[in-house]
Amino acid sequence: EEKQCDFPTVENGRIAQYYYTFKSFYFPMSVDKKLSFFCLAGYATESGKQEEQIRCTAEGWSPNPRCYKKCLKPDLRNGYVSNDKVLYKLQERMSYGCSSGYKTTGGKDEEVVHCLSAGWSSQPSCRKEQETCLAPELEHGNYSTTQRTFKVKDIVAYTCTAGYYTTTGKQTGEAECQANGWSLTPQCNKLMCSSLRLIENGYFHPVKQTYEEGDVVQFFCHENYYLSGSDLIQCYNFGWYPESPICEGRRNRCPPPPVPLNSKIQPHSTTYRHGERVHIECELNFVIQGSEELLCENGKWTEPPKCIEEKEKVACEQPPSVENGVAHPHSEIYYSGDKVTYRCGGGYSLRGSSTITCNRGRWTLPPECVENIENCKPPPDIANGVVVDGLLASYTTGSSVEYRCNEYYLLKGSETSRCEQGAWSSPPVCLEPCTIDVDHMNRNNIQLKWKYEGKILHGDLIDFVCKQGYNLSPSIPLSEISAQCNRGDVRYPMCIRKESKGMCASPPVIRNGDIVSSAARTYENGSSVEYRCFDNHFLQGSQNVYCVDGVWTTPPSCLEPCTLSFVEMDKNYLQLKWNFDNRPLILHGEYIEFMCKRDAYISETSIAGSVLRVQCDRGRLKYPKCTPRDRRLSFQEALRTRRQMEKR
Amino acid sequence: GVNLKDYLNVTAVHLFKERWDSNKIDHHTDKYDNNKLIVRRGQTFYIQIDFNRPYDPRKDLFRVEYVIGRYPQENKGTYIPVPVVKELQSGKWGAKVIMNEDRSVRLSVQSSPECIVGKFRMYVAVWTPYGILRTRRDPETDTYILFNPWCEEDAVYLDDEKEREEYVLNDIGVIFYGDFKDIKSRSWSYGQFEDGILDTCLYVMDKAEMDLSGRGNPIKVSRVGSAMVNAKDDEGVLVGSWDNVYAYGIPPSAWTGSVDILLEYRSSETPVRYGQCWVFAGVFNTFLRCLGIPARVITNYFSAHDNDANLQMDIFLEEDGNVSSKLTKDSVWNYHCWNEAWMTRPDLPVGFGGWQAVDSTPQENSDGMYRCGPASVQAVKHGHVCFQFDAPFVFAEVNSDLVYITAKQDGTHVVEAVDATHIGKLIVTKQIGGDGMQDITDTYKFQEGQEEERLALETALMYGAKKTLNTEGVVKSRSDVTMNFDVENAVLGKDFKVTITFQNNSSNLYTILAYLSGNITFYTGVSKKEFKKESFEETLDPFSSKKKEVLVRAGEYMSHLLEQGFLHFFVTARINESRDVLAKQKSIILTIPKITIKVRGAAMVGSDMVVTVEFTNPLKETLQNVWIHLDGPGVMRPKRKVFREIRPNTTVQWEEVCRPWVSGHRKLIASMTSDSLRHVYGELDLQIQRRPTM
């Protein structure tokens, strides 16, 4: 091992500090050893990094450790740099520009600077042209003054017309002109979106009676339900987008199947359903390893095979001889893919495929020639399907035919039928697809939720939505807005006009709370009332209750506060840890923290703090228990060893 | 009046997240038993987006967005808009269209090598004149982003493939324990790829309320991990216990791996009972490897636990030469395990990257919490203990001096002897690609007696390490008599001998009063019970040597035995004529019987295999409350079984049927624990065949 590299000197940089102390131990270093160096602040390695590794070679350190002064991309306010680069090397050029109202250091809109050893040729910056704010046009509001340009620190007040609100949700607003523009740009926006319908098997947040443009509502599904649609919807100036999702069971479609390298896949399709198979074939001279078939199972494909390049060509032997039949050879030597056809002698017929194929040194199974006995008549016809290879006049025992369903029909049962002693085994059934009846949909006031590619096959789920202005009848669960195609039959859900349904009677009365809004005899569908809890009570649930199709949504409950009992505390040797906890009422959900009285201890062995911190739960406080300390030594012994252990 | 149908509408998003897809193979995440997309940062992966109509790059504008946490913010890295770019730029997020056919666009997405590590939600955002339309939230498109030791720009980059295979991808390891003279090893199932473990490791950071923006930084992640793996002060994963009473929990020696512990922590959301150093290190290693930080468990033989961090371990002797247990507060652990994690240290000057010591066993408070590290191993070796975190503590663990002090009756203390070579005798870890031991002592220390060793100590003192006693020069003049002792290989339940040898190297005649003290100790060196105390007198003729044999009967130690079977012997001798005191100490570990594991049936993925666990009670007493734990990552989920009692010389058998799901080299690991006997292990190496292809 030859020692090659001496202690490196790095201008404007350093190597690890221990190399300086332990210089004679480490140097000279042997070939292939590595070490890192770093550049002082403001310098960088040739590739622009702060730190880099060098390796000892027979020619010395590689790369040569050197640090270069760097120019940084400026942090431009009110301007931009067209290039993305952060670091500029010596002599490199950079061009930048300023936004309107601002000028470069040279007083222009754009400027080019270059990196010198002392930094940029001229420090890039964007300076303001003038220091005023311009009041924007208010479409639905008025300023308190006719003045439109304002100096820094000026304040302008404005009022929005009825039905429009400032960004903070008020009728009137104020904005201050600051050096970089308005503190809050004056604007008046309309309240835009209507209240949202409750969803089956899920809920949303926040619940409000009306929503403003920009409001976002998030939907959640209960366990085992999955959102179909967007979880977030937003109120835009044209209404909600996208529409509210629904919570439904899992779908079983598979993604596009994985295609291994050097393979082909059959058949191609855009959607793949549960139970569907695709066939993978390797390209010529590639051998399959693994299953040739991929099965779509519960939305996932089974593991695909690999196609491995064939190492050498393997020849097949001469085709096997068949009793009462002859082969038609056409070659001396057979390789993969070569085929040979057989024919049977008189009075015999072929059973199995008439041709055999050479496949990597092996022939596929040759046919048999069997005596013509007990033949079958042509196989039975099936509705919406055909026999694949055309019909023969008669079929020998053991031969079989393959059925195929017409396009869009799903085959159920075995696709082949076999001739056994003159009779056919039962043929498959073709299950009908569904056609959407537009008239029926119109009658039921519904439309399709998505556009369906091609036909809808048996078993597919069809998602409907109510037409605008219609709602699903309250007696129907929301999940039934999707229907399954069942052999051509679709059960169309029914939506009914929103206005056509029930008004509500007086809203429910709750304990420890009352209704804020004034009482009425009847309430319109979709209207709401607001509840309020008595003082010191905690409102759980939604404070707004809606009349939906004649029924009120669940009202909130008002949970009682807890009272602090000094009698209970004394009983449990407790005292308050914090002074501020000393108040008569503790609201539901609030915490209160105790500590053991002098000469008492908490017997719980877990982290003591959490046991002594209790939460008020519906008027009940669970007081922790402290035990008065006695002088038994065994306990103290245990504590001491524990403390010792902790230290260790 | 607005027709949003005119704008690009996402109909489907495909993530190519099956086990065999290149996204998982190329990112080395195919072993995770998790069906979501898992990618490593700084490396490209593929996604396909299907639209309602062909994408026109000149008119349509869309981007992919990744979001984590409740309050996503772009500047915190918790909201990541990924722009579609012409060319990917190294070090930055970007998505490049690599295929645009029909209505589908395939993208090559690259994440930043500094990106937060965790579980992101993914959206596709499309621009319309009315605002940005985002795809629905779909849990199926959630994407895990992990650390990437394969990526040069990543702070955890490790440039050797064999090391990455071992320190990131190996889910079974070996932990060394026992005694310096009698090194033992046991297998540990890290199980970082098992179902639910990745989510649990992320949960651990959530439970620590770790700021999301720090989760891309391996320094912070490993520091938080070192605090969270122990339950002290933060309701972390494991409760430590060293008092041999493990009621309401599982004895530390019973665990066979990390999976059980982490899953129990996740489901109960409360700390799991109980752990000791190798359990803490095992679980911590799972945490680090699972998130993609290269990590290993190391064992330091004769590890100092220095209460006052003065680089000296004081052993007090009474005037007659007997050890004073009252005054001796510091302890030398027979061994101690901690972890090393591999990363750069941009927070330190150049040269301190690489392996960092991190320790999750609760020992000392570091900035208000029980945690330790990351401390640069390079910094420890060279004495640069000023660099964060906790380097002085680790330095003391491997470098302290053992100081024997006689406490005189008049209250004065006299230093009798200084042993500078005892502590940090040997530091080892599992070798790469095998189950053997790799000596890494020289990564922590210079060779004993070398000039550099002294330089490193001087550097450490200069940087603030304390040393109250100047041990140089206190080496007492050599006594005319030397003493040594040996303990016969001791098998649990059998008698054995201790032989003490005295050698008189002078022409004087000496009489000696000697004490032998035998103690049952915890592996931490703390004594539980003195089971043997014998004193004897010897007369030594000039230039002669004498041997004294002391028999230790099984009955003397069996009833007090602690789980690991550590026995500690002190021999002190006082030479009456010169009043010299000689002292020697030695620990031994009893040879403990093993559990046998056998398998029947095809060792093949997907087929049933019968596992038989056998244990014979070698003791003369009945074992009670016997728990056997069995574990085999990729072969079977952790299982346990209880036997109320096992009579002497009786064999119990337990059969389990399992169906392996991972092929290649695997292990079955068993442990046994009972009221009176613990640390009984057994393991079996298996070669699991792939499922045959049709």
* Strand bridging mode B312-317 / B401-407: parallel
Contact assignment for A648 to B305 by CB distance below 8 Å? yes
CA-CA distances (angstroms) from residue B513 to A423, A563, B478, B574? 108, 73, 18, 5
Contact assignment for B2 to A25 by CB distance below 8 Å? no
Q: How high does pLDDT run on average in chain A?
A: 78
Q: Which residues contact A251 (CB under 8 A, 6 or more apart)?
A: A299, A461
Q: Chain A contact for B162, CB < 8 A?
A: no
> What is the tens place of the pLDDT at every residue in A179-234?
666 777 788 877 667 677 777 778 888 877 667 777 788 888 776 667 777 778 88
From B14, B16, B459, residue closest to A21, measured CB to CB: B459
For residues A391, A392, A398, A404, the Cα torsion angle rounded to the nearest 10 degrees is -10
- Please state, for a pLDDT cut of 70, what percent of chain A lies above it: 84
> What is the tens place of the pLDDT at every residue in B629-667?
999 888 998 898 999 989 988 899 999 999 998 888 899
Query: What residues of A are in contact with residue B130 (Cβ under 8 Å)?
Result: 236-238, 241
From B130, B138, B307, residue closest to A647, measured CB to CB: B307
Nearest alpha carbon to residue A219 among A235, A239, A238, A199: A199
pLDDT of residue A271: 59
Residue B274 tokens, joined: 């109980």
Q: A interface mutation test: which of B33, B85, B136, B230 has the most A CBs within 10 A? A: B136
Query: What residues of B are in contact with residue A634 (Cβ under 8 Å)?
Result: none
From B235, B350, B446, residue closest to A37, measured CB to CB: B350
Q: Chain B contact for A258, CB < 8 A?
A: yes
Closest residue in chain A to residue B52, using alpha carbons only: A451
> What is the tens place of the pLDDT at every residue in A391-405?
787 787 778 888 888
Residue with structure tokens 């290149």?
B22
Query: What residues of A are in contact with residue B235 (Cβ under 8 Å)?
Result: 607, 610
Q: What is the mean pLDDT of the segment spanning A567-583?
A: 82
Closest residue in chain B to residue A291, using alpha carbons only: B694
CA-CA distances (angstroms) from residue B499 to B93, B388, B557? 69, 47, 18
Q: Chain A contact for B16, CB < 8 A?
A: yes
Q: In angstroms, rounded to a whole number, what is the distance separating the alpha carbons of residues B86 and A4?
A: 45
Question: Which amino acid is located at A152 in the chain?
Answer: V
Residue B482: CB atoms within 10 A of its CB come to 14
Distance from CA of A15 to the nearest CA of B (A): 6
Of the two residues B666 and A151, the one the predictor is more confident about is: B666
Residue with structure tokens 């003192």?
B461
**Which string of DSSP letters, residue by residue, matches A493-505?**
--EEEGGGS--B-
Contact assignment for B526 to A645 by CB distance below 8 Å? yes
From B14, B452, B693, residue closest to A256, measured CB to CB: B14
Q: What is the ipTM of this complex?
A: 0.75
Question: Which amino acid is located at B631 in the chain?
Answer: D
Out of A26-40, A594-608, B53-67, B528-542, least confident range? A594-608
Query: What residues of A are in contact with residue B352 (Cβ under 8 Å)?
Result: 16
Distance from CA of B563 to the nearest CA of A (A): 17
Q: Chain A contact for B694, CB < 8 A?
A: yes
Of the two residues A101 and A160, the one the predictor is more confident about is: A160
Q: In angstroms, rounded to a whole number, what is the distance separating the alpha carbons of residues A204 and A227?
A: 12
From B235, B307, B350, residue closest to A36, measured CB to CB: B350
Q: Report helix, strand or coil for B514.
A: strand
Contact assignment for A648 to B331 by CB distance below 8 Å? yes
Contact assignment for B18 to A241 by CB distance below 8 Å? no
Q: B interface mutation test: which of A17, A252, A298, A648 has the most B CBs within 10 A? A: A648
Active site residues of B: 277, 336, 359
For the purposes of burial, counting CB atoms within 10 Å of the CB of B371, is it exposed (0-12), middle (13-18) or buried (19 or more)? Answer: buried
Distance from CA of A516 to the nearest CA of B (A): 33
**Which string of DSSP letters, residue by residue, matches A220-255?**
EE-TT-EEES-SEEEEETTEEESPPPEEEPPP--B-
pLDDT of residue B563: 64
Q: Chain B contact for A21, CB < 8 A?
A: yes
Query: What residues of B are in contact with residue A14 (Cβ under 8 Å)?
Result: 349-350
Judge whether A276 and A254 are in contact, CB under 8 Å: yes
Q: Chain A contact for B508, CB < 8 A?
A: no
From A25, A241, A304, residue closest to B20, measured CB to CB: A304
pLDDT of residue A291: 85
pLDDT-derived band at A644 (thresholds 50, 70, 90) equals very low
Which residues 58-77 on chain A approach chain B with CB closer than 8 angstroms? none
> What is the tens place of the pLDDT at every residue in B575-609?
888 877 788 878 788 888 889 999 988 888 888 89
Distance from CA of A224 to the nearest CA of B (A): 13
Nearest alpha carbon to residue A187 among A146, A152, A135: A135
pTM above 0.80, yes or no: no
Q: How far is CA A128 from the centre of its chain?
A: 44
From B4, B137, B384, residue closest to A232, measured CB to CB: B137
Query: What residues of A are in contact with residue B89 (Cβ under 8 Å)?
Result: 84
Nearest alpha carbon to residue A197 among A189, A207, A187: A207
Judge whether A530 and A517 are in contact, CB under 8 Å: yes
Q: Which residues contact B689 (CB under 8 A, 6 or more apart)?
A: B602, B603, B604, B605, B663
Q: Which residues contact A49 (CB under 8 A, 6 or more apart)?
A: none
Q: In angstroms, rounded to a whole number, what is the distance separating the alpha carbons of residues B298 and A3?
A: 32
Q: In angstroms, rounded to a whole number, what is the distance separating the alpha carbons of residues B491 and B592?
A: 7
Residue B458 tokens, joined: 């001087």
- Which of A307-316, A638-647, B100-109 has the highest mean predicted lDDT (pLDDT)? B100-109
Query: What residues of B are in contact with residue A303 (Cβ under 8 Å)?
Result: 18-20
Contact assignment for B243 to A642 by CB distance below 8 Å? yes
pLDDT-derived band at A610 (thresholds 50, 70, 90) equals low
Q: Chain A contact for B133, CB < 8 A?
A: yes
Q: Chain B contact for A290, CB < 8 A?
A: yes
Query: What residues of B are in contact with residue A610 (Cβ under 8 Å)?
Result: 235
A&B contacts, CB < 8 Å: 112
Nearest alpha carbon to residue A455 among A425, A439, A438, A433: A433
From B136, B363, B694, residue closest to A229, measured CB to CB: B136
**Residue A181: in which H helix or E strand, if any?**
strand A181-182
Q: Is the pLDDT of residue A245 over 90?
A: no
Q: In angstroms, rounded to a whole number, what is the distance separating the alpha carbons of residues B442 and B175?
A: 19
Question: From the first residue on, what is the mean pLDDT of each consecutive set of 10 residues in chain B (694 residues)?
Answer: 69 90 92 95 94 89 92 90 90 91 90 96 88 86 96 94 96 91 90 95 95 95 95 91 80 91 94 93 97 97 75 77 71 87 94 95 79 93 90 88 81 78 90 94 90 87 70 57 86 87 89 87 72 88 90 82 76 84 81 88 88 87 88 89 89 90 90 83 90 65
User: Residue A572: left (phi > 0), alpha (psi -120 to 50), or beta?
Assistant: alpha
Contact assignment for A304 to B135 by CB distance below 8 Å? no
Query: What residues of A are in contact with residue B526 (Cβ under 8 Å)?
Result: 644-645, 648
Q: In angstroms, rounded to a whole number, what is the distance separating the alpha carbons of residues B197 and B379?
A: 33
Q: What is the mean pLDDT of the segment spanning A125-129?
A: 75
Q: Chain B contact for A585, CB < 8 A?
A: no
pLDDT of residue A623: 86
Distance from CA of B67 to the nearest CA of A (A): 14
Q: Which residues contact B622 (CB under 8 A, 6 or more apart)?
A: B645, B646, B647, B648
Q: Chain A contact for B448, CB < 8 A?
A: no
Q: Is the pLDDT of residue A129 over 80?
A: no
Contact assignment for B526 to A289 by CB distance below 8 Å? no
CA-CA distances (angstroms) from residue A205 to A192, A543, A554? 17, 13, 15
Residue B136 tokens, joined: 């629905």
Judge whether B398 and B385 are in contact, CB under 8 Å: no
Q: What is the mean pLDDT of the segment spanning A53-72?
A: 87
Query: What residues of A are in contact with residue B349 (Cβ under 8 Å)?
Result: 14, 16-17, 38
Query: What residues of A are in contact with residue B137 (Cβ under 8 Å)?
Result: 227, 230-232
Q: In angstroms, rounded to a whole number, what is the distance separating the alpha carbons of residues B509 and B488?
A: 29
pLDDT of residue A302: 84
